[in-house]
A and B are shown apart, each in its own frame.
Chain A
Amino acid sequence: MAFRLRLILAILVAKVIMWLVRLLGRGKGSSLPGMVALRICPGILPCLARQARRGVIMVTGTNGKTTTNNMIARVVREAGYRVVVNAEGANLITGVTAAFLKAASLSGRVDCDYALLEVDEASFPRVTRQVYPNIVVITNFFRDQLDRYGELDKTISLIREALVQLSGTRLVLNADDPLVAPLAASTGKEAFYYGLGEHHQVASFSTAAREGRFCPHCGRELVYVYYHYSQLGNYRCPGCGFSRPFADVEGTEVSPGSHRVSVRLRSPAGSCELVIPVPGLYNLYNGLAAFSAGLLLGVEPEVIISALAAYTPATGRMERFRYRDKAVLLNLVKNPTGFNEGLNTLLSLPGPVDVLIAINDNDADGRDISWLWDVDFEVLEEHHFRINFLVCTGQRGAEMAVRLKYAGVPLEKIVVEEMPRAVEHVLSGSGKTAYLLATYTALWPLERILSGYAKRENHVESLPSVS
């Protein structure tokens, strides 16, 4: 049987590649094996994916895919299920395929209950033609890497069209994003909404990079009762009456911290407190999405809460290291909204802080770095006394430095250096905390250099306190 032979050959070759990639220390081998396997056996993905006994959950959107997907994986594992997950953020069709290959036996058996897949927005139509998702979680839509995807409207319509093709798929949608919420009505799918209610941090900071200013139905400018960040908030269209839908899971009484964030939840399962051991409002949204997905899958709320409380971030999603008595944080940045949130976190850290920013412009980072001018670095002008210095590095480190200069950061606090020297510099600073922000392809080399000096923290310290 030709398919069977191709299948076995593809798995065999992929596994050898995975082994070699690891052996040579060239990354984690999360997409090359998938690419090769798809060449050898084009039908391999549906064949492996349909073996997930209880179904497939996909996460897509601009920010928070990896974190949300990993949080759901944690929840489902905690509930006792076996899972396949593309945990390293390899979210193109090759990465999705590789996740299944890793789990497959040489005969092509995949023994799992759920497959949890984060899927890149542009790849979503292609992946859903081959893998049927029972649940699709959509986090948010922000402008990201325009030179690769074209305009945001186009991305959203591609996802909408792909969803229309699926039958029976349930959606988990961010009620606070006026670009995400309409997807239920426009695709005719059943949706479960999550969102954040009003809380004391509510404001209109970061108005500069707001995307969804206009009603998706009639084009009138939306009116907001409050914003959380960017276009996320409680909105209403004065023209056609489109408004933020009722949130099935809603967080209120947010209390943010530098290591964690907690919130009171109202949900169909009752009221409870949720604590997530990573800081930032955006991570809270990821937690709400994961909580919602867990409920839809029938996991007990207490199980979901304890799973999320023990969540450990994937590479670059706020990883912690320690160098002597200095806390070292490494964070991925890839678009204005994420970077703004990263800066908010920076300003909430115990100071003074030594900062490193690494900007690359490879395909995976986005070749156009103009978006750096949409990030509100201007907040640093007022707060620069909390920061000892900012070291800029990476292929576009010099341009990052120019951006900081025009944001009003004093020239004597801006340094440009090659990566190894930049890491030494930030570690040897006199600050309490070293905060490193890096684009995607700058993250791995940075992490490698960092591991040579600093010790990766086990997450005991960052477990939630019982409050």
Chain B
Amino acid sequence: MLKVCHLYPDLLNLYGDRGNVMAYVRRCQWRGMEVEVYRINLGDPVDFQEMDFLFLGGGSDREQNLMAGDLEKRRELLQAAVEDGLVVLAICGGYQLLGRYYRTLEGQVIPGLGLLDFYTEAGRKRMIGNVAVELEIEGEPVRVTGFENHAGRTFLGQISPLGRVLVGYGNNGEDGTEGARYKNVFCSYLHGPLLPKNPRLVDYLISLALKRRGLPAELAPLDDRLERAAAEIMLKRLLK
């Protein structure tokens, strides 16, 4: 059985973030795998090591401040699980929080969890719009679309991006990178949400989780015609 942890589902649920968890759960279930979802809110106990997939979404400033303190207390346990290969997807605000710091427009430095080597600086202009990104999954290029809406500009240190921007801003609107990847942690600014639009990535995240448990990671193929059609229509529109 796979254990899925949705962190702060009530606080960080901006822009349909929960769609990522739905996609993960459904694609496991469609293959007959048992999945249990743990919705972890402020103060709830959770053992990250025991989890197979952890999802962290984005929230508004007020909500993000509420949970940042709570997450800080869980930092060591989360770090140990990440180093152990826990599969994590973090979007937007959740993404920024995993890095070293966030610098506001006024120059105030808000420390992040420091689990990944990147930092974020607020910009005056929000980066909003449809995005097309090319990711590489097991050596194969995969094109994904989504929507981004962030004021923070993220700059990567010793860490690889999740993908390359084809249309849109991505991490910072300058270097053409989008998101970040460290061990089995995947970070992205793409909401919309990312996973349901990208079955290849979900399946990759599922097989990474199975591998970590020492289970066979070969996944039976599913009928993904709707997802493919939707992606093609949006890509055609964005790349013309």
> Would B61 and A151 count as touching, CB distance under 8 A?
yes
Closest A-chain residue to B191, C-beta based?
A370
B-contact bits for A397-426, CB 8 A (1 contact / 0 none): 011011101111001001010000000000
User: Could you say which of B15, B62, B234 contacts A146, with CB atoms under 8 Å apart?
Assistant: B15
> Would B16 and A374 count as touching, CB distance under 8 A?
yes
> Would A147 and B26 count as touching, CB distance under 8 A?
no
How many A-B pairs fall under 8 Å by CB? 79
Closest A-chain residue to B146, C-beta based?
A370
User: Could you say which of B18, B129, B192 contacts A208, with CB atoms under 8 Å apart?
Assistant: B18
Chain B positions within 8 Å of A150 at CB level:
126
Contact flag A367-B129 (CB < 8 Å), given A151-B60, A152-B60, A373-B22: yes
User: Could you say which of B18, B126, B129 contacts A373, with CB atoms under 8 Å apart?
Assistant: B18
- A36 contacts the other chain (Cβ, under 8 Å)? no
> Would A368 and B149 count as touching, CB distance under 8 A?
yes
- A21 contacts the other chain (Cβ, under 8 Å)? no
- B223 contacts the other chain (Cβ, under 8 Å)? yes
Chain B positions within 8 Å of A416 at CB level:
226, 229
- Residue in A368, A401, A403 with the greatest tally of chain B CB atoms within 10 Å: A368
Closest A-chain residue to B232, C-beta based?
A398
- A372 contacts the other chain (Cβ, under 8 Å)? yes
Contact flag A368-B226 (CB < 8 Å), given A151-B61, A406-B196: no
- Residue in B18, B128, B230 with the greatest tally of chain A CB atoms within 10 Å: B230
Please give the distance in Å from A245's CB to the nearest CB on chain B. Answer: 23
Please give the distance in Å from A394's CB to the nearest CB on chain B. Answer: 11
Contact flag A411-B18 (CB < 8 Å), given A151-B61, A370-B147, A370-B193: no
Chain A positions within 8 Å of B126 at CB level:
150
When chains A and B are docked, how far (Å) is the Cα of A208 from the Cα of B234? 28
> Would B230 and A399 count as touching, CB distance under 8 A?
yes
- B114 contacts the other chain (Cβ, under 8 Å)? no
Chain B interface residue count, CB cutoff 8 Å, equals 33
- B207 contacts the other chain (Cβ, under 8 Å)? no
> Would A367 and B14 count as touching, CB distance under 8 A?
no
User: Could you say which of B147, B223, B226 contacts A147, with CB atoms under 8 Å apart?
Assistant: B147
User: Could you say which of B13, B17, B23, B129 contacts A406, with CB atoms under 8 Å apart?
Assistant: B23
Closest B-chain residue to A398, C-beta based?
B230
When chains A and B are docked, how far (Å) is the Cα of A371 from the Cα of B233? 19
> Would A370 and B16 count as touching, CB distance under 8 A?
yes
Chain A positions within 8 Å of B111 at CB level:
none
> Would B149 and A402 count as touching, CB distance under 8 A?
no
Please give the distance in Å from B90's CB to the nearest CB on chain A. Answer: 16
- A213 contacts the other chain (Cβ, under 8 Å)? yes
> Would B60 and A406 count as touching, CB distance under 8 A?
no
Chain B positions within 8 Å of A373 at CB level:
15-19, 22, 193, 196
Closest A-chain residue to B227, C-beta based?
A402
Chain A positions within 8 Å of B191 at CB level:
368, 370
- A153 contacts the other chain (Cβ, under 8 Å)? yes
- B197 contacts the other chain (Cβ, under 8 Å)? yes
User: Could you say which of B22, B149, B192, B230 contacts A401, with CB atoms under 8 Å apart?
Assistant: B230
Closest A-chain residue to B27, C-beta based?
A406
Please give the distance in Å from A237's CB to the nearest CB on chain B. Answer: 15
> Would A406 and B230 count as touching, CB distance under 8 A?
no
- A162 contacts the other chain (Cβ, under 8 Å)? no
When chains A and B are docked, how far (Å) is the Cα of A371 from the Cα of B147? 11
User: Could you say which of A153, A213, A399 contacts B197, with CB atoms under 8 Å apart?
Assistant: A399
- B175 contacts the other chain (Cβ, under 8 Å)? no
Chain A positions within 8 Å of B15 at CB level:
146, 368, 370-371, 373
> Would B226 and A405 count as touching, CB distance under 8 A?
yes
- A369 contacts the other chain (Cβ, under 8 Å)? yes
When chains A and B are docked, how far (Å) is the Cα of A399 from the Cα of B196? 9
Q: Given A147-B149, A367-B129, output 8 extra A-B contacts at Cβ < 8 Å.
A: A153-B60, A213-B10, A367-B147, A368-B147, A373-B193, A398-B226, A402-B230, A406-B26
Residues of B that sit less than 8 Å from A by CB: 10, 13-19, 22-23, 26, 60-62, 66, 126, 128-130, 147, 149, 191-193, 196-197, 223, 226-227, 229-230, 233-234
Name 22 interchain pairs, CB-CB below 8 A, sorted by A: A151-B60, A151-B61, A152-B60, A153-B60, A213-B10, A367-B128, A367-B129, A368-B191, A370-B16, A370-B147, A370-B191, A373-B18, A373-B22, A374-B13, A374-B18, A398-B230, A398-B233, A399-B230, A402-B226, A403-B196, A405-B226, A414-B226
Which 3 A-B pairs rank lowest in CB-CB distance, beginning with the nearest? A373-B16, A373-B19, A398-B230
